[in-house]
Amino acid sequence: MSARLAFHLPDHLAARQPAEARGITRDAVRMMVAHRGTGELVHTTFSALPRFLDPGDLLVVNTSATIPGAVDARTSDGTRVVVHLSTHLADDRWTVELRCLSGDTTERWQGDPPDGLVHLGHGATLRLVGRYLGSSRLWVAHLSVPTAPLTWLTAHGRPIRYSYVDRQWQLAAYQNVYASEPGSAEMPSAGRPFTPEVITRLVSKGVAVTPVVLHTGVASLEADELPYPERVKVHGPTASRVNATRAGGGRVVAVGTTVVRALEAAAGPDGRVRPLDGWTDLVVTPERGVRVVDGMLTGWHEPEASHLMMLEAVAGRDLLEASHDASLAERYLWHEFGDVHLLLPSGPLYGVTIRRCSVRACASTPMLPSVSSSSRTTTATHSSSRSSSPTHQSGSS
């Protein structure tokens, strides 16, 4: 297995607030477009997405909705902890992560599980029964609540938050506009910049949009873990649309790593997608490659994260390294409230106004990009783009 991409991520590049709290709309976050065919890198805002897709292309989105999966609790000896509900397995069984309080944030529970029940309050308890698939951080637990679990969590839980986010935000900040089926412990965040207006413009241009469902578990911030099994649904109509798009010469563009995992899990060795309703433990690596995904929209992932192996499978190592070098130089924002990265197989579209851009400022003269064998950086603008200058905030994470 190839070595994962490593780089230094400065603390001040963490997106500490949603775009709306930074004074911009969701679709005004920055977007880098990286073209595998030419090595071209284009800097723009997400609202320009329809300009980079063609009639006949297919966007696949994950309609899983985020649950308020973080709950305050106490162990039987009175120790205060935070429980992260990760994945509903069956009946009353869940995978959970136990977190210790550390100042105004939390850290992973170390060692053996606490004795007895973990008390969540409001009539709910948790009983840990064993490690999940040999994990050092996830446990299988029996959850006892007085009402339906999602009803109870809606009343007493909150979204999972990590230390780089500056405060607790309402659940709505962690929902994509098309989210419809609750089940994800963490937001499938590549879809966060979508707005009804952007989707309308895509459909009006002839770009189709179709759903899958993959309920995400609690991610690990450590580099040594691979993704765990996740529940996935690829319905028959979506499978048919993917196959028809590929047969017709269109591009299948996955919105997020969750969609890549779902589609590739449903794809056979012949490259055809078939309906799937169950679980997947697929890990997409450069060695395995992709069978049906031509491009993807993704956020910016931590150094050496397992998701970077998937990005390398889609884009190739050289383009992945070049785009991350450029993202650091141009000060893109990371994490779920940050900027996004569009990976496409073909070269840039000449309907976009291009300006050559340095780190500090862009030249004022519009120009069309010339194709070069080496990666270059340009800035794309269009008539409806809004200001995308984020407020960078420093701080520990």
Q: What pLDDT digit, counting tens, does each position of 232-249 carry?
A: 999 999 999 999 999 999
Q: Does residue 223 register a pLDDT over 60?
A: no
26-67, pLDDT tens digit by residue?
999 999 999 999 999 999 999 999 999 999 999 999 999 999
Average pLDDT over the chain, rounded to an integer: 87
Report, as an integer, the average pLDDT of 182-191: 97
Among the ranges given (171-180, 269-278, 366-375), the one the predictor scored with the smallest mean pLDDT: 366-375
Q: What is the pLDDT of residue 172?
A: 98
* Proportion of the chain above pLDDT 70, given as a percent: 86
CATH number of 11-66+171-381: 3.40.1780.10
Going by pLDDT thresholds of 50, 70 and 90, the confidence category of residue 132 is: very high
Q: What is the pLDDT of residue 185?
A: 97
The more confident residue out of 364 and 16 is: 16
Which amino acid type is present at position 228?
A: Y
The more confident residue out of 103 and 260 is: 260
Which token pair is 288? 């395995």
The more confident residue out of 302 and 121 is: 121
Choose among 244, 250, 237, 183: nearest CA to 210.
237
The more confident residue out of 384 and 127 is: 127
Q: Does residue 144 register a pLDDT over 70?
A: yes
Report, as an integer, the average pLDDT of 2-15: 87
Q: Where do runs of H (alpha helix) occur along 91-195?
A: 149-156
Q: State the Cα–Cα distance between residues 182 and 191, nearest whole angstrom.
A: 15
Q: Where do runs of H (alpha helix) occur along the chain?
A: 149-156, 196-205, 236-247, 257-266, 307-315, 317-329
Q: Nearest 5 degrees, angle CA 157-CA 158-CA 163?
A: 135
Q: What is the pLDDT of residue 378?
A: 53
Can you give the pTM of this predicted structure?
A: 0.87
Strand order in the sheet with 276-280: 276-280, 230-234, 208-214, 58-62, 252-255, 295-298, 340-344, 30-35, 41-45, 377-381, 353-356
Q: What is the pLDDT of residue 117?
A: 97
The more confident residue out of 392 and 192 is: 192
- Residue tagged 């446990």 (tokens): 139
* Parallel, antiparallel or unpaired: strands 93-102 and 80-90: antiparallel
How far, in Å, are 70, 85, 122, 133, 328 from residue 143 at the CA level?
Answer: 14, 10, 13, 18, 42
Choose among 278, 321, 290: nearest CA to 303.
321
Q: Does residue 380 register a pLDDT over 60?
A: no
DSSP-assigned states of every residue in 340-354: EEEEESS---TTSEE
Report, as an integer, the average pLDDT of 116-131: 96
Q: State the Cα–Cα distance between residues 58 and 296, nearest whole angstrom.
A: 11
Among the ranges given (13-17, 55-59, 92-96, 161-165), the one the predictor scored with the smallest mean pLDDT: 161-165
Q: What is the pLDDT of residue 388?
A: 32
255-290, pLDDT tens digit by residue?
999 999 999 999 999 999 999 999 999 999 999 999
Q: What is the pLDDT of residue 305?
A: 84
349-358, pLDDT tens digit by residue?
434 433 334 3
DSSP-assigned states of every residue in 54-112: -TT-EEEEE-EEEP--EEEEE-TT--EEEEEEEEEEETTEEEEEEEEEETTEEEE--SS
Which token pair is 349? 């579209």
Which token pair is 166? 């500056």
Report, as an integer, the average pLDDT of 306-327: 94
Which amino acid type is present at position 363?
A: A
Domain ranges for the chain, please list them.
Answer: 11-66+171-381, 70-156
Q: Does residue 381 register a pLDDT over 90?
A: no
Q: Does residue 219 register a pLDDT over 50?
A: yes
Going by pLDDT thresholds of 50, 70 and 90, the confidence category of residue 136 is: confident
The more confident residue out of 108 and 207 is: 207
Q: Does residue 368 register a pLDDT over 70?
A: no
The more confident residue out of 5 and 229 is: 229
**Helix axes of 257-266 and 307-315: crossing angle, nearest 10 degrees:** 70
Q: What is the pLDDT of residue 347?
A: 53
Q: What is the pLDDT of residue 9?
A: 85
Q: Nearest 5 degrees, angle CA 179-CA 306-CA 291?
A: 70
Choose among 257, 265, 256, 188: nearest CA to 233.
265
Q: Does residue 371 register a pLDDT over 50?
A: no
